[in-house]
Chain A
Amino acid sequence: MNIIVCVKQVPGTNEVKINRETNTIVRESAEAIINPFDEHAIEEGVRLKEKTGGKVTVLSMGIPKVADLLRETIAVGVDDAVLLTDRAFAGADTLATSYALAMGIRKLGEFDLIICGKQAIDGDTAQVGPSLAEKLGIPHATYVRKIEEIRDGYMRCQRMTDDGYEVIEMPLPALITVVKEINEPRLPSIKGKLKAKKTEVKVLSAEDIGADLNLCGLKGSATQVIKTFTPVHEVKAEMIDGTAREQARTLVDKLLSMQFVKRT
């Protein structure tokens, strides 16, 4: 089975400190990591390959430095790593990202399954997966927590819903996005680490994948960020003092008088 896993580099923390005087953001420089959900996507890809044979390719669109992170994935069982990098990709929203990924995937050739993370923790949009599936004209299932069966041209999986899960059957090739419950990612092996060191990450430009520059990056993005600001939590907590008993009483008084908690 030929599996492609889409991974994104994200900042290792999303703590944004706010300078209260200037009301600007002080970002502790944190190292970049692979989006945590994508680690689970990689693990699932590797497990499927171990079961059915074939190969796993990780694919990312990002800055040249992402190559280092991609190379590390070889150590957990990935076979090939491909990085789409080009100034023309900068500023891509989810539409332009999925366009570039789709062009990259077409360039890579035949595949059976694409696995994405549920969402990337920097933007939390969860849009690239379904959007990419549409661009490739293949079916998709989001929030997959278990693959029940997979074979040539067919898969059955469990997809989380708001109050449980449902079982979905679809033909391959298809795309799934995975949640954390699907597996526990393994640690890299020593042998894998050695192999990773020797592996060359394949780097492709917009031209290499035949992408239309008008559909890439900022230019190809339908959405534009016009303002960013730090949320101000102006509520000043009203502190309730006293013994546990007194605190409980005062709070209940307040809630009842505000009618947020109603007598039955």
Chain B
Amino acid sequence: MINIIYEKCIGCGLCVRECPFNAIKLEDRKAVILDNCTLCGSCVSSCKPGAIDFQKDKADDSEDFSKYRGVWVFGEQKDNSVLQVVFELLGEGRKLAEALSVPLSVVLLGSEIEEQAKTLIAYGADHVYLVEDKSLENYNDESYSDIFTQLINKFKPEIVLIGATAYGRSLAPRVASGLNTGLTADCTELGIDPETKNLLQTRPAFGGNLMATIICPNRRPQMATVRPKVMKPLEADYSRKGEIIRPDVKIPENLQVKITETVHTVYEKVSLAEADIIVSGGRGLGDAKNFELVRELAEVLGGAVGASRATVDAGWIDYSHQIGQTGRTVGPKVYFACGISGAVQHLAGMSSSDIIIAINKDADAPIFKIATFGIVGDVLEVLPELIKEFKARLG
């Protein structure tokens, strides 16, 4: 499926550099594809003489896609209120639906939650598929994936968007796998290919070091989970007209999976996921007790507290505050990185913040490469001044 055309290869090595997987090497001045090639195709365009023969097998199951129509959003709710990410997806979904001239719908599962359906219409939904039952009050993988799959099979949307939350990332792969369709995780950008009308799904890979654009050309629906705080919601317009549809579905009974207890451990006034302002501390704080400065600044600004992994590993703060590849992903309006070097794994969790402020005593710290404002200085001096200044000016 991928081959080097020996005669054409000039041994320039450009493909070797292009390959994100180190799966090409030069042998006797000719490129050789190694075992660990994932057939991603990144190398093809790098080859000037056209010596890389790459053919994607055409899937033979070219179903009739004309039956699939419309953009859907999963209306994740908690304690009977729809999550912010749903409004963001509606904002983005509106654009996609308009590009395709199709309706935008939300699937809302819950118990006594009709009130929320009206809000969803105000935020851009044309239809709300509402399923209410006492058993759907809280998220449950088994019942939610069952009903969601029934609805997709019945109404055949062409695109399904799900927030990349803990629940969304559990539900989406289960549903996509059952439907034998593709799913792209944690997208940060979506678009429609003007020619093919395929959904273009862009996401970070390798901890944010590489971006990949992915399509699902031969199956429907095209499914994606989308990172919270990246897409922008529309202004609510309560005069918008929309339709609430109560579809006929079979509510699963005798569930195997039971949730017997729910415990909140993140006792923040503002949760990291929802915060507009996040103040994060890194090893540069020097000491657990200096985290107080970070907390105080967050408090003054009405923000939440984040942390680098180094500080979590050192036991200065609980893991639930960790931002980054192996922690949480956030995208606030303002992100303060205090004494954080800016390792790629940390950036993976916060680089989509609107404004990034870096405070670091090392002018060469990588965090300055993505910062909007940089302060070279000692956090232990700058933070108290910032706290004082904000208190005086905001107070």
Contact = CB atoms under 8 A, between A and B. Distances in A.
Interface of A: 11, 14-16, 19, 22, 24-27, 29, 36, 63-65, 90-91, 93-95, 98, 121-135, 139-143, 156, 160-171, 180-181, 214, 217-219, 221-231, 233, 235, 237-241, 244-245, 247-249, 251-252, 254-256, 258, 260-261, 263-264
B177 A221 contact: no
Q: Which of B46, B357, B389 has the most CB of A within 10 A?
A: B389
B211 A180 contact: no
A16 B39 contact: no
B358 A237 contact: yes
Nearest to A254: B373
Interface string B373-395: 11111100110011011100110
B375 A131 contact: no
Contacts of B20: 16, 25, 27, 228
A223 B211 contact: no
27 contacts: A16-B20, A25-B19, A94-B173, A94-B183, A95-B183, A122-B205, A122-B206, A124-B185, A125-B185, A126-B169, A127-B172, A134-B145, A139-B256, A162-B166, A163-B266, A168-B260, A219-B59, A226-B215, A229-B213, A233-B370, A235-B371, A237-B370, A237-B372, A247-B382, A248-B386, A248-B388, A254-B373
A126 B381 CA distance: 41
B213 A226 contact: yes
B22 A261 contact: no
A91 B355 contact: no
Contacts of A244: 377-378, 381-382, 385
A134 B178 contact: yes
* SS class, residues of chain B in contact with chain A: mixed
A217 B57 CA distance: 10
Interface stretch (B30-38, B128-136, B233-241, B286-294): B30-38
A247 B385 CA distance: 9
8 closest A-B pairs (Cβ-Cβ)? A222-B182, A91-B39, A248-B385, A131-B177, A16-B209, A223-B182, A237-B374, A127-B173
B382 A248 contact: yes
A160 B378 contact: no
A169 B174 CA distance: 18
Contacts of B373: 237-240, 251, 254
Contacts of A156: 260
B277 interface: yes
A221 B389 contact: no
B119 interface: no
Contact of B176 (A126, A131, A139): A131
Interface in B1-33: 1, 14, 17-22
Contacts of B284: none
A225 B19 CA distance: 13
A223 B19 contact: no
Nearest to A9: B36
B394 A261 contact: yes
Nearest to B170: A142
Nearest to B61: A214
A96 B184 CA distance: 13
B314 interface: no
Interface string B157-188: 00000000111011111111110111111100
A131 B216 CA distance: 17
Given A123-B205, A162-B165, A231-B208, 15 more contacts: A127-B169, A128-B173, A130-B173, A134-B145, A141-B141, A165-B262, A167-B261, A167-B262, A169-B257, A219-B59, A222-B219, A231-B209, A255-B355, A260-B334, A261-B334
A22 B355 contact: no
A244 B381 CA distance: 6
A24 B385 contact: no
Given A27-B20, A228-B210, A244-B378, A214 B170 contact: no
Contacts of B374: 237-240
A245 B214 contact: no
Contacts of B213: 225-229
A31 to B, nearest CB: 11
A24 B46 contact: yes
